[in-house]
Amino acid sequence: MAIAITLLFSIILLLLPNLSLSQTTTTCTTKTFSKNHLFASCIDLSQLSASLHWTYDPTNSTINVAFTAPNPNSNGWVAWALNPAKPSMVGSQAIIALHDSDGKIVVKTANISTYAGVDFSPIMYDVWGLEAEQEEIGGVPVMTLFASIKLPHGTTKMSHVWQVGPESKSGELQKHDFGEENLNSKGVMNFASDGVRYGSSNSGLNEQNVHGIINALSWGVLLPTGAIITRYLKAFKPSGTTWFYLHVSFQVAGYILGTSGWGTGLNLGIKSKGVQYTAHRNIGTTLFSLATLQVTALLLRPKKDHKYRKYWNLYHHTFGYTILVLGILNIFKGLSILNPGHKWEIVAIVIVGFFIGITLVLEITCFVRSHLKKKNLATITNPNKQDQDVQSGV
């Protein structure tokens, strides 16, 4: 068991440089554009593998932007929009790149006032320099739209939404998908302070890697190991206390790492106001809350013979198993955000499968051992039972 756990730690620690390498080569700062388009800042958006690039000029409150996103449909469309009220489609002032009836890429604007459809029209901001281009990266069409926008004087922070859609027929937009990424493609941007400066060291990516590794060790290795120890080592040696101290050690270490990981996640959220990972954040906060209650509950644990001990056990086990399930779920949520590559998702699946396999083997072993123990106990307490059964033909 100890060798297997050590192996798991080694595999996960080996992920760190590879995760960092993968992220470094796919960050928005490596993106280049044709026609000498240059930008001061950029950000990898939270959904649809999109990125936003811009230069903000505070002297006249203008932004030069490039929005880029992959679209599996070579005749599809992409859109990026500002919303002065809230991060929502309705009320947004959209800039849309699409294919016209001749198959050429054109850029149009639309003041979106309803979910019923899009009517191309002028928007409330002055816009110029509308361009678009499409290239193929890794076999997938990637569309980019360019625009210059004059914001209200002194405005730097605004809500924005973005989207990709299927084929645009005869210059008319077809409805986009309504998957999770499509519905969550929204956020709030501060064009004066958010994003990554081109040519910077991009320490945020390193912090993302640290956040991912810490949480993988905590929720994905230490806490499941602690649960296995208390479930099965206790079953094999019920009179000893080794299982208890090992269980507490793994759980406390997992809680400390998990709390650190939660803290780095909050810090990343503060630094990236334009990016929202709502589900990942909410699950992480729930995990921290449940784990804190678990640790606190150790101080309130009744003695074995106390009448409330069974209720404490029920609470402790329920919260514990809930933490394990949510922890694994959030690890995969984090992998989808960090996007280190498909092979690391396979590694995570193998690790989870390892724990499930160990659990099944130990559970079967405990069942067989318990059955044999009961059979032996019955033989000892009633040694004539077997002879009686033979004589009776049983």
> Do the beta carbons of residue 193 and residue 270 sit within 8 Å?
no
Shortest CA distance to 99 belongs to which of 180, 193, 181, 170? 170
Judge whether 306 is annotated as a binding position: no
CA distance 26 to 21: 9
Query: Is 371 annotated as ligand-binding?
Result: no
The arrangement of strands across the sheet holding 126-137 comes to 126-137, 140-150, 62-70, 51-57, 41-44, 196-197
Please give the Cα distance from 93 to 96 (Å, whole number): 10
Instruction: Return the sign of the alpha-carbon dihedral for residues 243, 246, 249, 253.
Output: negative
Which tokens is 23 given?
């992220």
176 assigned ligand-binding residue = no
Query: Exposed (0-12), middle (13-18) or buried (19+): which is 220, by Cβ within 10 Å?
Result: buried
- The β-bridge relationship of strands 126-137 and 51-57 is unpaired
Three-class secondary structure of residue 69 per DSSP? strand
CA-based radius of gyration for the chain? 28
| Residues in the annotated binding site for heme b | 211, 247, 280, 316
| Residues in the annotated binding site | 211, 247, 280, 316
